[in-house]
């Protein structure tokens, strides 16, 4: 008991020393002592604020990327901004809902400011209740560490493509939370939090009025995220936190703690609208699940196809918020959509190319374009098994022995694999000219599979129309 008390006291003193504003800090609001941890080297010296250019917040507003800001002082000219966005490692990859955060961090960098990504190795152990109707399932430490490592690599890879040629500091809040005890936190931080203010947060009110209610663990999440902002503000000169509109309560918890504990102004919050379609439904889900940003969890081809299928009513807005094309070029694309001779899906093709390039790079885009062309029914591009394999995880597939396929009737194969429901449906599709084998239209319902049909001796590609496909792997 005595040892535990001494540990709590020591931690309390450590937090107190960390949070206590120095005399230098009181005189100059953006001068801080640096932490002694090895994480400090990840934050390069801040460059001078950009001169005579459009302010980054004005750029974001014009493109529809700002929902709210905590203060218009954020747009003051001549101030260098250092923005951060948090990502909880609840999976091995970020998903499409996280993409806006990365896009906005990139806009800060492209506008001459700085950006920091924070992976929530600690806060993921609690789970953010914002926008959730149920408490998140608990993840074990090994899974969290694996997810954290994968997400750090993914963020670094994506943001390295923004043309600034500057390293992206990527921090893990577990590095500082692992040293904090409950007693120390309550004494040095908890006493500044007002329960009434915490209860008034929209995310809290929604959960309290739900059938499931809200656990104390989730209720404290806003303080944990608020402390992260305070820590980054003091030790890494981070003065802006960005997040989705459902993060407003968590972000303002941070600006309030900074004002009360450090007794200074200069910390800002900016939220962006959630990624939704024009009908209000969530954008970023497909029939097969989430649209992941990692190529290991979703192929660049499938990622590209998701954006290629965006309806006309949404494509211009997505060009504004998800790409870095100039507003002038986007306006030209929009005007072109209404002109005679417009080629359908040209705007969608540009959207898919730009977003895929940002997330997967030129190599990933080339892979997606090659597969898109090669897998188009009727395409003259020579198919190979590697190209077909790029979509094998994203379309129905099955495995059959070589002798089960060779010399079999195609109509029988279509039914036995479950690709079509009946032989009559298969024959009807052949008559309509909608059945393809390896992109070659089949004109006869007595077609037999021969050795030349099996691509590289390994696969068959069946297509019913342009969208419905099946891959048959030959073993």
Q: How far apart are CA 69 and CA 104, in angstroms?
A: 14
**Helix axis angle, 221-236 relative to 248-257, nearest 10°?**
50
Mean pLDDT of 170-174: 96
Mean pLDDT of 207-223: 80
Whether residue 108 is predicted with pLDDT greater than 80 in this model: the reply is yes
Closest to 227 in 3D by CA, of 173, 272, 151: 173
* pLDDT at residue 15, as a whole number: 53
Please list, residue by residue across 187-213, b when 16 or more beta carbons sit within 10 angstroms of its beta carbon and e when fewer do: bbbeeebeeeebeebebbebbeeeeee
The total of other beta-carbon atoms located within 10 Å of residue 155's CB is 23
* pLDDT at residue 133, as a whole number: 47
Distances (CA, A) of 51 to 113, 233, 268: 11, 24, 21
The residue whose two tokens read 């699940």 is 289
Tens digits of residue pLDDT in 448-461: 999 999 999 999 99
The answer to whether the beta carbons of residues 299 and 375 sit under 8 Å apart is no
What percent of the chain is predicted at pLDDT more than 70?
85
Tens digits of residue pLDDT in 235-272: 999 999 999 998 998 999 999 999 999 999 999 999 99
Angle value at C-alpha 234, between 149 and 245, nearest 5 degrees: 65
The total of other beta-carbon atoms located within 10 Å of residue 15's CB is 21
Whether residue 146 is predicted with pLDDT greater than 60 in this model: the reply is yes
Domains, the chain: 38-272 (3.40.50.620), 299-374 (1.10.240.10), 389-474 (3.10.290.10)
* pLDDT at residue 134, as a whole number: 52
This prediction's pTM: 0.79
Which residues, other chains included, contact 281 with Cβ-Cβ below 8 Å and sequence gap of 6+?
A: none
pLDDT band at 21 (very low <50, low <70, confident <90, very high): very low
* pLDDT at residue 157, as a whole number: 95
Which span out of 206-215, 229-238, 244-253, 395-404 was modeled with the highest average pLDDT? Answer: 229-238
């Amino acid at each position: 008991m005595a040892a535990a008390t001494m540990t709590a006291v020591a931690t309390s003193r450590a937090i107190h020393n960390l949070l206590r504003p120095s005399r230098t800090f009181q005189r100059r609001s953006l001068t801080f002592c640096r932490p002694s941890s090895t994480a400090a080297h990840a934050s390069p010296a801040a460059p001078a604020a950009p001169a005579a250019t459009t302010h980054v917040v004005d750029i974001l507003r014009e493109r529809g990327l700002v929902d709210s800001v905590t203060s218009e002082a954020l747009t003051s000219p001549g101030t260098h901004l250092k923005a951060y966005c948090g990502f909880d490692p609840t999976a091995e990859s970020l998903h499409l809902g996280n993409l806006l955060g990365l896009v906005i961090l990139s806009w800060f960098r492209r506008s001459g400011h700085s950006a920091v990504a924070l992976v929530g190795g600690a806060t993921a152990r609690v789970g953010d209740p914002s926008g959730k109707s149920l408490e998140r399932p608990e993840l074990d430490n090994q899974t969290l560490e694996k997810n954290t490592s994968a997400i750090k690599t993914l963020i670094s890879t994506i943001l390295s493509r923004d043309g600034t040629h500057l390293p992206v500091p990527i921090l893990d809040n577990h590095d500082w939370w692992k040293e904090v005890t409950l007693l120390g936190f309550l004494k040095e931080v908890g006493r500044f939090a007002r329960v009434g203010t915490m209860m008034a947060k929209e995310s809290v009110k929604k959960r309290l009025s739900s059938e499931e209610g809200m656990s104390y663990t989730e209720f404290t999440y806003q303080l944990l995220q608020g402390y992260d902002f305070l820590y980054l503000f003091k030790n890494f000169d981070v003065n802006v936190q960005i997040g989705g509109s459902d993060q407003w309560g968590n972000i303002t918890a941070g600006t309030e703690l900074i004002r009360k504990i450090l007794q200074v102004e200069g910390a800002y919050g900016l939220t962006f609208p959630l990624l939704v379609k024009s009908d209000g439904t969530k954008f970023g889900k497909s029939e097969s699940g989430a649209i992941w940003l990692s190529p290991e969890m979703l192929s660049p081809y499938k990622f590209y196809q998701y954006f290629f299928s965006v309806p006309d009513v949404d494509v211009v807005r997505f060009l504004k918020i998800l790409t870095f094309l100039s507003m002038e070029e986007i306006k030209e694309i929009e005007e072109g959509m209404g002109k005679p001779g417009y080629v359908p899906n040209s705007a969608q093709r540009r959207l898919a190319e730009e977003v895929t390039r940002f997330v997967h790079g030129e190599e990933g885009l080339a892979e997606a374009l090659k597969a898109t062309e090669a897998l188009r029914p009727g395409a003259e591009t020579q198919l190979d098994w590697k190209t077909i394999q790029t979509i094998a995880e994203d379309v129905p597939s099955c495995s059959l022995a070589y002798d089960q396929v060779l010399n079999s009737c195609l109509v029988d194969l279509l039914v036995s694999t479950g690709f079509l429901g009946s032989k009559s449906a298969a024959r009807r599709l052949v008559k309509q000219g909608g059945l393809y084998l390896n992109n070659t239209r089949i004109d006869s319902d007595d077609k037999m599979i021969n050795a030349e049909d099996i691509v590289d001796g390994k696969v068959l590609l069946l297509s019913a129309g342009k969208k419905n496909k099946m891959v048959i792997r030959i073993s």
